Structure 1
Amino acid sequence: MLPTYQEIKEKLIAPFPKGTVEVERNKAHIPVQAYINRLEEAAGEHWSWKTNGQPLIYEKECQIQVKGTLKILNAEREGVGFSNFKVYEDNKEKIQNLKYAILAAESDALRNACNKYQMGWSDLAQYKDWGKNPGVGVTVTQPQTSQPVAEFTCLKCGKPLQASDLQELEKYQIRNKYCSEDIPAHMRKKR
């Protein structure tokens, strides 16, 4: 029997296992492999991904753009993804590792399309300002404060940073790594 869209969607938007969200440089994201695994588990043969057109190269910005369409049963969502690239020093017209830059942009496009199916919202909401908006319809679960996140330690006291510390740093757009207690007062201003 063919599953309904609603049955698949319930599986798609379920929280990911603990540890799936990666926090780097005060930015939280879910790797594309986790999204693909979720699509396989929830939709099986009833999903497809295809890129639309050729990748666009923005030479001035040193970025590649890829667009694609994620289809689940009869529902389609378009995703747009970007990737930075470098050029060779001796030949400014030649892109280094073009293939990998395109693949990275395609992965970003797939993540973007998954976002439009609300995948990962319950996991990422705690790290994003939109997660506090009641109109989004997501219940924010507090980050696990008992476990350190990544390998960041406080510049002042040296203790491992927790997810709540990283949220605080992101809130005030602070790049230096401080625990919540050691953030200097002058840095606690909204920018």
Structure 2
Amino acid sequence: MNLQEMKDMQEIYNEIKDELTAPFPKGTVQLNESKDIASIPVQAYIKRLEKVAGVFWSWKLVGDPVIYEKESQVQVKGVLKILGAEREGIGFANFQVYEDTLKIKNLKNAVLSAESDALRKACDKFQMGWKDLAPYRKWGDNPAVNLSTHQERPQNVQDVSPEKCAKCSKYLTQEELQFLNDHQIKIKYCKNDIPPHLLKKRS
């Protein structure tokens, strides 16, 4: 590829990226029942990729799913490619186990959920959804991020981090992350899903 071709590709990429990172339609951001967790469904990201990037984007899983039996969780890794740019995403999802046989009973669905989570995280690395989620994130006020959202942070939404609970996949609040750090709990859990034995072990 010569210099002119590289410049042409960069120009096309910049045009695509500007459209990819544009705000989503009003109402795209979803809040959970307690209104303290904000997220964008993976379908919105896929539709945006299809509409804007078309044949210039692809998504590929990397390696086999990793199963964490003790945490009842599966991990999936994938790579999102747009033209020549690639971003990796790692996703997690919970699964259930039959009590009598200890066999996993919804692994296929868990893998699909983890893949969706991985794709969302890869999209995040392309800065997709930043303008929509900034009002719900502490980093949204950071001048280095330089987002002009012109929106006030909702008072009923806590500051949440990009980290997710290893069990329920909800985004963790800054307070929860600090609690885990204070108790030297390495696996990311929300306050409702911290295994009792981890708290007893460190009390």
Name 1:29's counterpart in structure 2: 39
Structure 2 residue 113 is matched with structure 1 residue 142: no
Is the contact between residue 132 and residue 140 of structure 1 (CA under 8 Å) also seen in structure 2? no
Letter in 2 for 1:53: G
Distance 2:106 2:150 in 1: 39
Aligned to 1:59: 69
Structure 2 counterpart of 1:56, one-letter code: V
User: In the TM superposition, what whole-angstrom CA distance separates every residue of 1:21-56 from its partner, at most 9, and x where no partner exists?
Assistant: 001141100000000000001100100000000000
After the TM superposition, which parts of structure 1 deviate over 3 Å for at least 4 consecutive aligned residues? none
Q: Distance in 2 between matches of 1:82 and 1:62?
A: 10
Cα distance in 2, alignment partners of residues 20 and 43 from structure 1: 20
Root-mean-square deviation (Å):
2.1
Consecutive unaligned residues in structure 2, runs of 5 or more: 1-7, 161-177, 180-203
Shift of the alpha carbon at 1:140? 2.8
**1:106 alignment partner AA:** E
Question: Is 1:19 aligned with 2:27?
Answer: yes
- The CA distance in 2 between the partners of 1:137 and 1:82, in whole Å, is 29
2:89/2:122 contact within 8 Å kept: yes
Q: For the residues of structure 1 that align with 2:78 and 2:64, how far apart are their CA atoms?
A: 10
How many residues are paired up? 152
Question: For each residue in 1:105-149, what CA deviation from the matched residue of structure 2 results, as whole angstroms up to 9, or x when unmatched?
Answer: 000000000000000000000000011101012123326xxxxxx
CA distance in 2, matches of 1:88, 1:141: 49
In the TM superposition, residue 164 of structure 1 has moved relative to its aligned partner by 2.1
Q: Which one of the candidate residues 125, 129, 151 is aligned to 1:116? A: 125
1:55 and 1:138 mapped to 2: Cα distance?
Answer: 35
Percent identity among equivalent residues? 59
Q: With the length of structure 1 as denominator, give the TM-score of the two structures.
A: 0.75
